[in-house]
């Protein structure tokens, strides 16, 4: 693979395909880490939502049991 430098230091041109490529690996790694953190946050939020729903269901069932005993 042969690359030619372009004005921006993070960009190069692939000689064969004439494509402009971003070679800023540090920014790519930062992006990937941020994306992974966001996925974990979303997963935890969904788990929290499910637990809240299950807790509400348990509370409702307990209320029903208590009402039957009265």
pLDDT tens sequence across 25-59: 999 999 999 999 999 999 999 999 999 999 999 99
User: Is residue 42 assigned to a domain?
Assistant: yes
- Give me the pLDDT at residue 49, please: 98
- Of the pLDDT bands very low, low, confident and very high (cuts 50, 70, 90), residue 70 is confident
* 44 in a structural domain: yes
Give me the pLDDT at residue 55, please. Answer: 98
pLDDT value for 37:
98
Count structural domains, the chain.
1
Q: Within the chain, where are the H helices?
A: 25-69
Q: 36 lies in a domain?
A: yes
Give domain status of residue 3, yes or no.
no
Would residue 53 count as lying in a domain?
yes
* Confidence at residue 64, expressed as pLDDT on a 0 to 100 scale: 95
Q: Please indicate, yes or no, if residue 9 is contained in any of the structural domains.
A: no
């Amino acid at each position: 693979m042969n690359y030619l430098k372009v004005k921006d230091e993070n960009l190069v041109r692939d000689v064969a395909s004439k494509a402009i490529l971003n070679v800023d690996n540090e920014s790519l790694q930062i992006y990937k880490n941020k994306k992974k953190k966001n996925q974990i946050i979303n997963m935890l939020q969904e788990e929290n939502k499910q637990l809240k729903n299950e807790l509400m269901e348990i509370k409702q069932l307990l209320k029903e049991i208590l009402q039957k005993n009265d």
